[in-house]
A = this chain, B = another copy of it.
Amino acid sequence: MAKLSAIGFDADDTLWQNEQFYRLTETRFLELLSEHGERQVLADRLLEAEKRNLALYGFGIKGFTLSMIETAIEVTDGRVSTAVIEKILAAGRDLLRHPVETLPHARDALERLSGAYRIIMITKGDLFDQERKLAQSGLGDLFDAVEIVSDKARVTYERIFTRHADGPEHAVMVGNSLKSDIVPVIQAGGWGIYVPHDLTWSVEHAETPTEAERFREIRDLSELPDLVREIAAA
């Protein structure tokens, strides 16, 4: 059995921009409510609502929109106008329609690795929205499998890499979230290749597992093919 047979890719902020569009929407939200409180206070209340609702809504834009509406009512003690709520609804719809911008080197890295490895997209978020983004990205044909999951835990990687390849011990996962993409895949016995993104949602932060033997970090996806070759040959 080959040492490495599968490469998993996170999508949002690994293959294409995501968080920056959320931030723009959040900025719009904060502007709409600027007369009702300090910017940072409003942002904190929104984050609180998002975290509180995560267990019920999961990840994605629709839940984010619902949390924005909830926060707008809360922070204004119900005095927010329906015109503002309509604008929040529209901002959510705009976010769902936002064109996909693939990140530098994403296509090239996928093209250089596909064929030699099973290439699997593993992403969280709204099923519908992630499928739209994959279709728009034009990268769909480069994947052997696509897994849109509600959570990324150790068992998630065990299940996916066993279903589509030779198990997590023979797999690499590439992503920008230490918490979701890197730490759990290393726990499952695989390699975690961390590609930091300038913007990563605070909920996705975790300590860098620098001690872990199977942890790697690269600056961007242009460094991935060589690193994969190195791991496979070691």
Instruction: Name A's B-contacting residues (CB within 8 A).
Output: 53, 56-60, 62-63, 65-66, 69-70, 73, 76, 78-83, 85-86, 89, 92-93, 96-97, 126-129, 131, 148-150
Contacts and interface: CB of A to CB of B under 8 A. Distances in A.
Contact of A66 (B76, B80, B83, B89): B89
A53 B62 CA distance: 12
Contact of A78 (B63, B83, B128): B83
Contact of A62 (B63, B83, B149, B150): B63
Given A82-B73, A149-B127, A150-B127, A57 B62 contact: yes
5 contacts: A60-B62, A69-B85, A73-B82, A78-B81, A78-B83
B73 A86 contact: yes
A93 B56 contact: yes
Contacts of A128: 57-59, 150
A85 B66 contact: no
A85 B57 contact: no
A89 B86 CA distance: 14
Given A58-B129, A80-B82, 18 more contacts: A56-B96, A57-B96, A58-B126, A60-B62, A62-B62, A66-B66, A69-B85, A69-B89, A73-B89, A78-B81, A79-B82, A82-B85, A85-B85, A126-B127, A127-B148, A127-B149, A127-B150, A131-B150
A97 to B, nearest CB: 7
Given A69-B69, A79-B82, A89-B66, A97 B148 contact: no
Nearest to A81: B78
A140 to B, nearest CB: 13
Contacts of A59: 128
Nearest to A62: B62
Nearest to A89: B70
A145 to B, nearest CB: 9
A82 B78 contact: yes
Given A127-B148, A127-B149, A66 B92 contact: yes
A62 B66 contact: yes
A150 B66 CA distance: 20
Contacts of A62: 57, 60, 62-63, 66
